[in-house]
Homo-oligomer: A and B are copies of this chain.
Amino acid sequence: MRQPAIPRKTLHNELVTLLRKMIMDGELVPGSRIPESRLCDLFGVSRTPLREALKVLSVEGLVCLLPNKGARVVHVTRKEMEEIVPVLGILASLAGELACANFKADELARIREMHTQLVEHYRSGNQQSYSEINRVIHDSIFEAAGNKALSDIYNMLQMRLRSIFFVTPKVPPQWADAVADHEAMMTALEDRDGARFAGIARRHLRHKADMVRIALDTLETRADAKDGHVGASAS
């Protein structure tokens, strides 16, 4: 198995990584404008690589580029969320099917182990750790599926929603449902029952959508008055 090409560094790639992280971590507020000049100052870089990085992020859907008006951090609307979630669901279900068909015993063992930790984090109410390991489990399943195109797309879409999922709190009843789903998916995986896994995965994502929907509703009504005014001011 040859090493998948040492990731050579170029400035624009580095910038893509940095900006992506900043957006997903909420450091750059969704909807806010990001003038090239400010970013150039911030990173101490010229416009050339920066603009290239923005182009990339724009294709990835993290940034919105309006001609002559510059770049904004994408503000995912409710409608877009409603569109993306089913796609994530179907992709996850495919990943599950493929994983069921392909995984090796040790992969399954590792996943089961992580799942145990997941449940522990749920029991102790540690949202942070829960989300983290949840993510790792997902990644592992996609890895077991062995389909790079699939996981690339899944990751891309998930990144877009990251900022929303970020502000979605885990309320007890739904959280319990989510954990139950995970448990069911685990057993489906262990039975190599791809179809069952797929069904649960899609339902799971539907539940997730419900939660996000509620979170968005409260956010939207709260921000009803001061509409449109988002953005960080410079020093």
Contact = CB atoms under 8 A, between A and B. Distances in A.
Interface in A157-199: 157
Copies in the complex: 2
Interface stretch (A37-45, A83-91, A113-121, A224-232): A83-91
Interface residues of A, number: 32
Contacts of A55: 12, 52, 55-56
A126 to B, nearest CB: 32
Nearest to A57: B59
Interface in A57-97: 58-60, 66-68, 80, 83-84, 86-87, 90-91, 93-94
Contacts of A157: 149, 153
- Majority DSSP secondary structure for residues of A touching B: helix
Contacts of A66: 8
Nearest to A68: B8
B149 A83 contact: yes
